[in-house]
Amino acid sequence: MSEQRTILAVFAHPDDEALGVGATLARYAAEGARVALVCATRGEVGEISDPALATPETLGAVREQELRCSCQALGIGEPLFLGYRDSGMAGTDENRHPAAFVNADFEEVVGKVVRVIRELRPQVMVTFDRSGGYGHPDHVRAHEVATDAFHAAGDPARFLDSLQDGLQPYSPQHLYYTAIPRGFFKNMLTHLKDMGVDAGPMGQIDLDRVGTADEEITVAIESGEYVQNKLRAFACHCTQLSPESVFSRLPEGVRMGFMAREHFVEAGVGATGAIKTDLFSP
């Protein structure tokens, strides 16, 4: 009797789950897998796109509801909040707030995720890569926490508190890091150039360094129709929606192609050129 297929995603803020992995999570949930999301913070110091939606005081509570909306749109379980505070962008005063996620005791945070792993027994875990996508301190910390928890959960000598509560050590089989292939940026800029659209700040990115080198990508998930769930999930994050990105000016078909295919690098597995198309396959 095999255990239920389960994915545990570990991210930092409401909306992290939507853009990079939303279609993948929606697809597996629709196919019967249990999909759980750990979110370290409520995104208390994120953008406020419209002052009618939130104030700095209410933003965390508003974004909690936005994440609940997003999880429903993706068809996944209720989010599990770790209860830390958004640490803000690198170099801001928010980094020093005592409740900030980056200032939390590392072992304490890992212990919370280990407990979730031992309870849910996921075969698959998903989190940010080492860069945190674009270097947000909370994204980087989520990566570090998830990676350590992935290894620690199966160790009977670590985090005895959850074992004393009757849980068993458990090792998930696969850990995946989200990745945007470098080629994605090249393709997008080529399309924009062909259309005569000014790419704005996007035009300044270093195409030799941005994202993940295409040859390092080891997993590509085609999500087909579930890209619609991802778009609905994304739309839940009203406070974070910025008007008119250059991405939104791409032709529908091109944009959907980019959105429906999500990429990962599997931790501890070197690139062989073969691309895995199922998170659960060996």
Residues that bind Zn ion (CB under 5 A): 12-13, 16
Q: Which is nearer to Zn ion, 16 or 262 (CB)?
A: 16
Q: How far is the CB of 128 from Zn ion (least distance, A)?
A: 9
Q: Which residue type sits at 272?
A: T
How buried is residue 273: exposed, middle or buried, by Cβ count under 10 Å (0-12/13-18/19+)?
exposed
Q: Which is nearer to Zn ion, 101 or 264 (CB)?
A: 101
125 by DSSP, 3-state: which? strand
The DSSP 8-state label assigned to residue 46 in this structure reads S
Q: Which is nearer to Zn ion, 132 or 172 (CB)?
A: 132
Query: Which residues does residue 264 pair with via DSSP β-bridges, in sequence order?
Result: 178, 219
Q: How far is the CB of 16 from Zn ion (least distance, A)?
A: 4
Q: How far is the CB of 180 from Zn ion (least distance, A)?
A: 14
3 state SS for 64-92:
HHHHHHHHHHHCCCCCEEEEEECCCCCCC
Q: Which residue type sits at 95?
A: N
Report the length, in residues, of the chain: 282
Q: Which is nearer to Zn ion, 86 or 115 (CB)?
A: 86
Q: How far is the CB of 139 from Zn ion (least distance, A)?
A: 6
Beta-carbon contacts of 179 under 8 Å, excluding residues fewer than 6 positions away, are 129, 211, 212, 216, 217, 263, 264, 265
Strands 80-84 and 124-127: unpaired
134 by DSSP, 3-state: which? helix
Q: Which is nearer to Zn ion, 46 or 122 (CB)?
A: 46
Q: How far is the CB of 17 from Zn ion (least distance, A)?
A: 9
Q: Which is nearer to Zn ion, 12 or 18 (CB)?
A: 12
Q: How far is the CB of 13 from Zn ion (least distance, A)?
A: 4
Minimal CB distance residue for Zn ion: 13
Count CB neighbours of 197 within 10 A: 14
C-alpha 101/C-alpha 271 separation (Å) is 32
